[in-house]
Chains A and B, each alone.
Chain A
Amino acid sequence: MDSVTATTVEAPLLEVRACRQSYHKDASADLLVLDGVNVSIASGEIVGLLGRSGSGKSTLLRIVAGLLTPTAGEVLWRGAPVSGPTLGVAMVFQSFALFPWLTVQENVELGLEAQGVARAKRDELSETALDLIGLGGYASAYPKELSGGMRQRVGLARALVVHPDLLLMDEPFSALDVLTAETLRTDLIDLWSEGKLPIKSILMVTHNIEEAVLMCDRILVFSSNPGRVANELRVPFPHPRNRHDAAFRQFVDDIYAIMTRRAPAPPKTSAAAAPAVDVTFATPLQPVSTNLLAGLIETLAAPPYSGKADLPALAAALQLEADELLPMGEALQMLGFGVLAEGDLHLTDSGRDFANADTDTRKTLFASALRAHVPLVAAIRRTLDERWNHRAAAVRFRDELEDHMSPKYAEDTLRTVIAWGRYAELYTYDEEAAQFSLEDIEVPA
Chain B
Amino acid sequence: MNEKPKPIATAETLPYWQGAHAGELRYTWCAACERAMFPPRSVCTTCRAPSQWRTSQGRGVIHALTRVERAPLAAFRDEVPYFIALIDLGEGFRIMANLRGDTVFAAKIGDQIDIIFEPVGDGISLPQGLVGRGV
User: Are A and B associated in one complex?
Assistant: no
